[in-house]
Amino acid sequence: MKDQAMLKLGVNIDHVATVREARYRGRERGEPDPIEAALICESAGAHGITAHLREDRRHMQDRDIFQLREVVKTRLNLEMANAPEIVNIALKVKPDIVCLVPERRKEVTTEGGLDVASHWLALTDTRKKMNDAGIEVSLFIAPDPAQVEASAKVGSQFIELHTGSFAEHFNRKHERAHELERLVSAAKQARELGLQVNAGHGLNYQNLHVLRQVPHLVELNIGHSIISRAVVVGLATAVQEMLLLMRE
């Protein structure tokens, strides 16, 4: 799989901010510092930094995103809902790429893929604004043919395949094979439609080797697993271990 040889790692640092907010919510500073974490990830070899500015600001804060833009030297990926306030912030921050995701207030983390097929007009409008500002656009979708097709219709440069279902069913062989086939099929369809393919959600040190069977992947966005591992071995080591798995 030649086009997968240089599979890239984007580290999602939201959970660093989650730990900070647990103690320092509403304060101007606190620890751990997601900006420092981003720099450690980059120096450990990460190809990009991902951060999600949620409407409820439960982890990353506006100041974090602006600071990240100043310090990130690789590629800054801003995950965001298609909400006017957040769109305006993104246009000011100018990340390298935005990943549009669905957002529900009560969810612990992003639970499902974006329904691009039902909201393609609104998403196209935002996609144009971002592209006009020199920002690439990715859409976070389930590996579903209708959503892949709608993403191409919107004109996004990337899709990010939601691997949550694959991760959830990983220990059940039959279900895992089914979820893997959905991802493979979606990646092939996206490629044929001219879309670049990223993947993320629930990926960890155990399931990564199986996901490598999905063709045409450009980048994996991984957060929780790396930050969890970092508690035990340190952040730089956790990033390097993941990169090693991705190269094997």
pLDDT in tens, 8-45: 999 999 999 999 999 999 998 999 999 999 999 999 99
In whole angstroms, what is the distance from residue 57 CA to residue 173 CA? 38
- Structural domains of the chain, count: 1
Domain of 106: which CATH number? 3.20.20.70
The active-site residue out of 47, 52, 59, 162 is: 52
Closest alpha carbon to 143 in 98, 76, 200, 220: 200
- Whether 123 shows a pLDDT value over 60: the answer reads yes
State the DSSP string of 170-233: TTSHHHHHHHHHHHHHHHHHHHHTT-EEEEESS--TTTHHHHTTSTTEEEEEE-HHHHHHHHHH
Kindly report each contact of residues 39-44 with a partner whose C-beta sits within 8 Å and lies 24 or more positions away, as own/partner: 39/71, 40/235, 40/236, 40/239, 41/11, 41/13, 41/235, 41/236, 41/239, 42/72, 42/73, 42/74, 43/236, 44/235, 44/236, 44/237, 44/239, 44/240, 44/243
pLDDT of residue 248: 80
pLDDT of residue 4: 46
pLDDT of residue 106: 61
Closest alpha carbon to 183 in 147, 154, 153, 156: 147
Active site residue 201: yes
Active site residue 47: no
The active-site residue out of 15, 42, 47, 79 is: 79
Lowest mean pLDDT among 46-55, 95-104, 213-222: 95-104
The active-site residue out of 15, 59, 201, 219 is: 201
Active site residue 111: no
- Whether 127 shows a pLDDT value over 50: the answer reads yes
Q: Which domain holds residue 94?
A: 2-247
pLDDT of residue 103: 84
What does the block give as tokens for 187?
Answer: 């990646």
